[in-house]
């Protein structure tokens, strides 16, 4: 059975008596534990840093927990820079990755003192002419056909992100000529990987680039950002990445590299978002309808407007059934074996789109009733953040469970007034 981040099912049932479904619920202690695991696994690396990917979960309350753990933030838009600023992140605690970026965004990032990560060398001169280049710049490497990707980011050779090897060398050369004095290196080529060897290969690739830049351009890299990509076990059968084992392997690689007198120490960084907050969130929704045509359907009060990943990527979010009766037993959909013939459902929302399915052909179990709860696991990253308003759907409330067990509202549910607030209404026709 896949555990929920709560002390008891009765506690969760109690929450649903006070708060309307659907809602997102995050667990502070789980977020803190994930941060500590990553820090401990790379404690050997002097000044180790993880820049939490703000796009994973941009709520300021979440970002504040991240800040208290000593991590920075990875931003890629003006809004994310504003959130970082409002939460108190400053200077090189902010890593700003460009991607078809406007001058307005560059200006804000430079104003905050962020590390600027370029993925287009043509932007160097543009930024210099507009506001001036900072003395510390970074470039994003895309290895192309040398590495494989996955369904989320795609293969590197087909991805819009980053620079080729030749462009990378050109970028550092130009930046040096333009007066930049400090240099970092970045890549992000895979997402949600559970393959430790695959993640280690990224470190090998990047450390070789550090050598190339020193040998060919006499560029000293001061910081290497290996990106994110650490997966989480969405399915009960998935095996977690051992950050401790990965950290030990990368440590040996790093120390072997530094045994050569030509290389000086550099700061090691990641930009993990999913790994930090993904396991700390659940989406709680209620069954409002049961329907049978050519398939069995469970209609819930959430939709892909709240949880897009299954429709967008075909992603799996484990789903648990909680009977909202005096019985407090949680019936795990993956392991329930009773009456399998009548236990498989598509879990659907009410959007006018056939892909509005939170789960497809999922073994929910028997004795499922309208009014029961469904809980979607591991929704703390790239879930609420990807919500949308198509079909006039409203975004749900978000709460965080504090170490005391008390819930704190960190984002209220949208209203129709919110939805219509930007419309310039036409005058009524007589």
- Judging by beta carbons within 10 Å of its beta carbon (0-12, 13-18, 19+), is residue 272 exposed, middle or buried? buried
Contact 307, 379 (CB under 8 A): yes
CA distance 2 to 16: 20
Cis peptide before 22, with omega less than 30 degrees from 0? yes
The residue whose two tokens read 């591991």 is 378
How far is the first Cα of the chain from the last one, in angstroms, to the nearest whole number?
A: 63
φ, ψ for residue 240, nearest 5 deg: -65, 150
CA distance 352 to 350: 6
352 belongs to the catalytic site: yes
The residue whose two tokens read 């996955």 is 150
Max CA distance (Å), the chain: 84
Q: Of these residues, 35, 352, 383, 396, which one is catalytic?
A: 352
Query: Where on the phi/psi map is residue 70: left (φ > 0), alpha (ψ -120 to 50), or beta?
Result: left
CA distance 187 to 144: 12
CA distance 319 to 336: 12
Supply the residues annotated as catalytic.
352
């Amino acid at each position: 059975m896949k555990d929920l981040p709560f002390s008891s099912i009765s506690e969760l049932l109690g929450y649903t008596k006070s708060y309307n479904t659907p809602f997102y619920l995050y667990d502070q202690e789980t977020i803190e534990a994930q941060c500590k695991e990553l820090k401990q696994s790379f404690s050997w690396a002097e000044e180790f840093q993880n820049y939490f990917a703000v796009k994973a979960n941009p709520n300021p309350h979440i970002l504040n927990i991240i800040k208290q753990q000593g991590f920075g933030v990875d931003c890629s838009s003006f809004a994310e820079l504003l959130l970082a600023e409002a939460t108190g992140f400053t200077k090189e605690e902010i890593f700003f990755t460009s991607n078809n970026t406007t001058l307005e965004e560059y200006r804000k990032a430079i104003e905050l003192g962020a590390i600027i990560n370029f993925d287009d060398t043509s932007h160097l001169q543009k930024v210099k002419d507009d506001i001036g280049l900072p003395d510390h710049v970074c470039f994003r490497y895309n290895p192309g056909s040398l590495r494989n990707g996955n369904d989320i980011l795609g293969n590197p050779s087909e991805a819009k992100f980053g620079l080729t090897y030749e462009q990378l060398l050109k970028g550092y050369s130009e930046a040096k000529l333009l007066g930049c004095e400090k240099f970092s290196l970045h890549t992000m080529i895979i997402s949600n990987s559970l393959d430790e060897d695959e993640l280690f290969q990224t470190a090998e690739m990047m450390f070789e680039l550090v050598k190339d830049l020193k040998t060919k351009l006499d560029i000293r890299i001061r910081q290497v950002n290996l990106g994110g990509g650490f997966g989480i076990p969405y399915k009960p059968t998935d095996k977690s990445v051992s950050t401790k084992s990965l950290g030990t392997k990368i440590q040996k690689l790093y120390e072997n590299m530094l045994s050569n007198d030509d290389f000086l120490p550099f700061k090691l960084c990641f930009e993990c978002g999913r790994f930090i907050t993904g396991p700390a969130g659940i989406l709680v929704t209620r069954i409002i309808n049961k329907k049978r045509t050519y398939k069995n359907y469970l209609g819930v009060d959430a939709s892909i407007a709240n949880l897009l990943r299954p429709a967008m990527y075909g992603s799996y979010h484990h789903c648990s059934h909680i009977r909202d009766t005096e019985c407090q037993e949680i019936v795990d959909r993956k392991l329930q074996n009773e009456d399998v013939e009548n236990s498989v459902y598509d879990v659907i929302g009410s959007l006018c789109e056939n892909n509005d399915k939170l789960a497809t052909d999922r073994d929910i179990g028997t004795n499922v009733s309208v009014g029961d709860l469904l809980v979607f696991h591991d929704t703390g990253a790239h879930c609420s953040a990807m919500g949308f308003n198509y079909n006039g759907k409203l975004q749900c409330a978000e709460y965080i469970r504090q170490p005391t067990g008390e819930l704190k509202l960190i984002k209220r549910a949208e209203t129709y007034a919110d939805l219509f607030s930007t419309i310039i209404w036409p005058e009524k026709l007589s």
